[in-house]
Structure 1
């Protein structure tokens, strides 16, 4: 259970930080672009895609957890006795 909590919390933290940085960079780029350029961001759509990306990241981490919990620790470190 500790491994599950650790992996999922790390993926959640890294994904959240990455999503926030991506959103900030996107809106920062939108501010730099000239007004004549046809570019608009729908805030609702950005939030929906950000949440969707976070959910997919967490679900993907659960696949890793499943594979990790099935591995024999002695075999993983190379000790076959």
Structure 2
């Protein structure tokens, strides 16, 4: 489901994000409502700002993808070694 650009602009302003942050959010499949919903209130001192939360989640996903790729490569290498 595509969200109107107006909603993304609103989320960008409310969450204090830049274009790169919005691109990352879209790439991860997040929607503007989830970004706005995760803005920490004054009594949620433990909660990260949306920008930090977004980048932390992005880094975790990238690390997971790197590990998966390395595991896949290692499996392919062992398969090649066994064929020799």
Q: More helix per residue: 1 or 2?
A: 1
User: Could you tell me the TM-score, scaled by structure 1's length?
Assistant: 0.45
Structure of higher CA gyration radius:
1
User: Could you tell me the TM-score, scaled by structure 2's length?
Assistant: 0.43
Higher relative contact order (CA 8 A, sep 6+): 1
